[in-house]
Amino acid sequence: MTHHEAENTTNDPASAVLERARHFVDDLTLTEVVRWKKDHPGQLAVGYMPIYVPRPMLEGIGCLPVAMFGGGDQVDIIKGDSFYQSYICHIPRSTLELALNGSLDSLDGVLFPSICDVIRNLSGMWQMLFPEKYASYVDLPQNFDPELGGKFYVNDMARILRDLTARGAWKYDADKMRAAIAAENSRRAALKELDTLRVKEPFRVRASEAYLVARAGGLLEAAAHEKLVREFVAAAKQRAPRVYDNVRVLVRGSFCEQPPLGLIKTLEAAGCDIVDDDFQLGLRYIDGDIECGPSDDPMRAIATAFLRRGQATASRYIADEEKGAALVQSVRQVEAEGVIFAAASFCDPALLDQPMLEAALDRAKIPHTSLKFAENTGQFQVIREQAGAFSDAVKLWGSAA
Amino acid sequence: MADREHLTVGIDPGSSAVKVAILRSRAGKDAKLLAQSVQRIRRRKVADVVTAGFEEACAAAGVKPKDFDYVASTGDGDAVGFRTGHFYSMTTHARGALFFDPTARAALDIGGLHARGLKMNEEGRVLGHRMTSQCASGSGQFLENIARYLGVPLDDVGELSKQSQSPEKVSSICAVLAETDVINMVARGISTSDILKGIHMSIGGRLVQLLRAVGAEGNVVITGGLSKDVGMVAAIEQLFAEEKTKKTKKQHAEVVIKTFPDGILAGAVGAALLGAYRYEQLEKKGRAAAVLAAQASV
C-alpha cells in the first residue's frame, strides 16, 4: 500500500468491505471453504477453473462452488513447473502447486470447463494425481441450437449432478434448483449495479476495487456475495472522491489467468478509468437473468441462458465478426475511448482472438494497445510506460501511441 | 490558435524533488513561464512537498488556486490529489523540451531513478523512446550516492568533474560494482575530480546509447534534474565528439546537446502546456465545464 492509499482509506466508507473482499481474494488455502464445510456438515465444496461453469447447478444440490484462479503472485512455483513446458501459461502451474501443497484439500471435486487444451490436459492430470477426488471435464456446447447444443448441455449437467449426488451432494430437486437460480440472478443484478456505477461514475469505484469485490464471490454462495456487493455499492455511493480528467478504457483478454492487482493499479495510475473489463468473466458470463418460471425446467433454463446470452468471448467458437462487433458495441455502450488488450502470456484463446478483435477496432477507428502478463508479474515499469503513452495519446490526439 | 489565454500549472513529483511550473498560454502555444518552484523532498511526505511547492509558485505568480484552467500532474500523480488530470512523464518531457527549444526533435530526460531518450515531432508527440531499465547505473540517485561517498556537495559535482585531468574508468555495467570501484579508487588515492569524471563518462556512455537507439538527431534537449550537472553534460558532449573521430563504418547523425537553466522543470512545464491544450479540447467538446463542475461538486 502506498502512503497515498493509506491516507485515502482513513475516512473511506468502503474500506471495511474492501478489506473483507481482499481477505476472500487472498484466501489461497481456502480457510473460508473449511469454515463453510464446518457450518454445512455433509455438503460438498466443488472447485472450478475459469471461465464459466453453471454455479447455480452446484448450489442447487447444496454444493459450494469455488472459483480457482491459480496462485497469483503469492505462490512460489516449485512442483507445478515440472508438469508444464515453458511455453504454457502460468495458471495451471500455480493451481497444481496449490493442490500438491495441500491448499485445495477442502475441495471434494473440481470441474474443468472447456476453455483450451491446457485446461483439458490439467483435468487429466488431476484425475491421475488425485484419484480419490471427483474431477470432470465440462464440455460446454459449441453448437448453439437448443435441440442440439441445448440437449447436450442438459444431459452433461445431469451427468455431473448424478456424479456429485453419488458423492454426497443433495438429490436433484427442481424447487431447490429454481431457488439457486433466483439467488444467482440476484447476485448477477448486484454485479450489474456495480458495473453500472463504474461506467457512470468511475471516480467512485476504481476497477481494482471492483475486481476485489467481484472476485470475492468466487468463495461465497450467491446470496452472501450479493450482500457483499450491495454493501460495497452503497458505501461507494457515499464516497466524496475527486473527479479526474482520465481516459475511459476497456480491458479485454484477462478472462482466465488473472492479472496481478498491481497491473490493474498500474493502468489506473497511468490515467485510465477502466470502465469495463473481462476479468474473472465467469460470474458475469450470462448477460442478464437466467429466466426460469415456477413451472420451467431449471436445467433447461440454465442451458438456454448459456446458449442465448453467453458472452461473445474466446471460449465460444462463433464467427469472428460477431466477437468484433460485440467488442465495438461494448466500447460504444460504456463510452470508452480506447481498448487495452491484456492477455496472459501463452493464453491461446485470448491471443488467437486478438488480431480479429483489433481489426474490428481499427475498422471502427477505436484506439487500442496490447500487453501481456503472467499472474505473478511483479515489475510493471514497461507496462507503465506503455499504458502512460497510450493514455496520453488517446487523451491528447485521439489515437493510439 | 486558441481564442483566449489559459492559465495552467504543471506539478512533477519526482523521486528526489517536486517541480512546479505555472504558465500562461493559448492552448499550449505562445507560452510564458510565470513562476516556478523546485523543492527537494528530503524525507518529507511527498504530498506535503507538493502543497508547499504549489503554494510557493502561486505566490510568486500572484495567482490563486481557483484561477487555473487545468492542474496537470506528471511523475507521481497520486501525490497531487487536487489535479485535474495526469500526463505521463515521457509525454510531458517531450513537450517541455519543445518549450525550451522549438527546433529540437529529441530529448534526454535524466532523472533521479532512471533516464530516458525520446524522439518527438513538432507537436511534442513521442515517436520513439528508450529508457534505462531496472539498473541504477544510469540514474541521478547513483550519482548522489557517489557524491555522498566522496563527501562532495551535489552542487559541486559538475565543476569538480570538469577539472579532471585523467578520468578513471569505472564499470559501466552495474551500479553496485561501480560503487565498489569507487571505494577502491579512493583507497588508491585517485583524485575526486578524476573519479567523478569517470562516473560521468560511465553514465554518459549509457545515455548516448539511449539517444542513438531512438535515432536522435539535431538539437537534443537535456531535461530532468541532471540537466543542471555541467559535468554530466560535458561528458555527453565529449562522448558525441569522440564518436566523430572514431573510424567506424556506421555514420552517426549530427547531435547538438542543448541545456537550459530551467531544464529540471521540463516535465512540469510540459504538463502545464498539455493541460492547456487538453482544456481547449474539452472546451471544444463542451466538456470542460462538466469536468470542472464535477470536481467542485463531488
Band (B125; pLDDT cuts 50, 70, 90):
very high
pLDDT of residue B138: 56
**Which of A281, A251, A205, A275 has its CA nearest to residue A343?**
A251
- Could you write out the DSSP letters of every residue in B73-106? E-SSGGG-TT-SEE--HHHHHHHHHHHH-TT--E
Where b means 16+ CB within 10 Å and e means fewer, B111-128 reads bbbbbbbbbbeeebbbee
CB B130 within 8 Å of CB B213: yes
Judge whether B93 is closer than 8 Å to chain A, CB to CB. no
- Helices marked H in chain B: 46-61, 89-100, 140-150, 157-162, 175-187, 192-214, 230-245, 266-284, 288-297
**Arithmetic mean of pLDDT, B273-293:** 84
Question: Using one digit for the tens of pLDDT, what is the confidence trace for A102-128?
Answer: 999 999 999 999 999 999 999 999 999
Is the pLDDT at B218 greater than 80? The verdict is yes
End-to-end CA distance of chain B: 33
Is the pLDDT at B32 greater than 60? The verdict is yes
pLDDT of residue A125: 95
ipTM of the complex as predicted: 0.85
**Interchain proximity B126–A389, CB inside 8 Å:** yes
**Interchain proximity B298–A243, CB inside 8 Å:** yes
- Give the Cβ contact number of residue B187 at 10 Å: 8
CA of B242: how far to CAs of A371, B217, B237, in Å? Answer: 39, 16, 9
CB B213 within 8 Å of CB B242: no
Instruction: Give the count of alpha carbons within 13 A of A72, CB side only.
Output: 16
pTM of the model: 0.89
How many independent structural domains does chain A possess? 1
Nearest to A245 among B47, B85, B277 (CB): B85
**Interchain proximity B90–A389, CB inside 8 Å:** yes
Nearest to A269 among B47, B78, B295 (CB): B78
CB A262 within 8 Å of CB A226: no
Nearest to B90 among A240, A243, A388 (CB): A388
Is the pLDDT at B290 greater than 80? The verdict is no
Torsion of CA A372, A374, A378, A383, to 10 degrees: 10
Q: Domain for residue A87, yes or no?
A: yes
Nearest to A388 among B70, B85, B88 (CB): B88
Residues of A in contact with B131 (CB under 8 A): 385
pLDDT of residue A283: 87
Residue with cell 507537436: B123
- Could you write out the DSSP letters of every residue in A66-106? EE----TTS---SSGGGGS-TTS-SHHHHHHHHHHTTTTTT
Query: H or E stretch including A144?
Result: none
Taking a contact as any Cβ pair under 8 Å apart, which residues of chain A between 184 and 243 contact chain B?
Answer: 203, 240-243
Band (B285; pLDDT cuts 50, 70, 90):
confident
Structural domain boundaries enclosing A81: 28-175
Nearest to A392 among B79, B88, B295 (CB): B88
With CA atoms as reference, the chain A residue closest to B295 would be A243
What type of residue sits at position A207?
A
Judge whether A269 is closer than 8 Å to chain B, CB to CB. yes
pLDDT of residue A4: 43
Q: Domain for residue A165, yes or no?
A: yes
pLDDT of residue B13: 96
Q: Domain for residue A358, yes or no?
A: no
**Which of A396, A371, A272, A339 has its CA nearest to residue B121?**
A396
* Residue B123 neighbours by CB under 8 Å, 6+ apart: none
Question: Using one digit for the tens of pLDDT, what is the confidence trace for A18-52?
Answer: 999 999 999 999 999 999 999 999 999 999 999 99
pLDDT of residue B288: 73
Q: Domain for residue A398, yes or no?
A: no
pLDDT of residue B298: 44
pLDDT of residue A2: 39
What CATH number is associated with residue A88? 3.40.50.11890
Q: Domain for residue A230, yes or no?
A: no
Q: Domain for residue A337, yes or no?
A: no
Judge whether B283 is closer than 8 Å to chain A, CB to CB. no
Q: Domain for residue A108, yes or no?
A: yes
Q: How far B88 CA sits from the closest chain A CA (Å)?
A: 5
pLDDT of residue A368: 97
Judge whether B291 is closer than 8 Å to chain A, CB to CB. yes
Q: Domain for residue A341, yes or no?
A: no
Strand A64-67 to A134-138 pairing: unpaired
Is the pLDDT at B30 greater than 70? The verdict is yes
- Each of the 401 residues of chain A gets a pLDDT tens digit; together they read 334 444 455 689 999 999 999 999 999 999 999 999 999 999 999 999 999 999 999 999 999 999 999 999 999 999 999 999 989 999 999 999 999 999 999 999 999 999 999 999 999 999 999 999 999 999 999 999 999 999 999 999 999 999 999 999 999 999 999 999 999 999 999 999 999 999 999 999 999 999 999 999 999 999 999 999 999 999 999 998 888 999 999 999 999 999 999 999 999 999 999 999 999 888 889 999 999 999 999 999 999 999 999 988 888 888 768 899 999 999 999 999 999 999 999 999 999 999 999 999 999 999 999 999 999 998 898 898 899 999 999 999 987 76
Q: What's the CA gap between A283 and A120, in Å, rounded?
A: 21
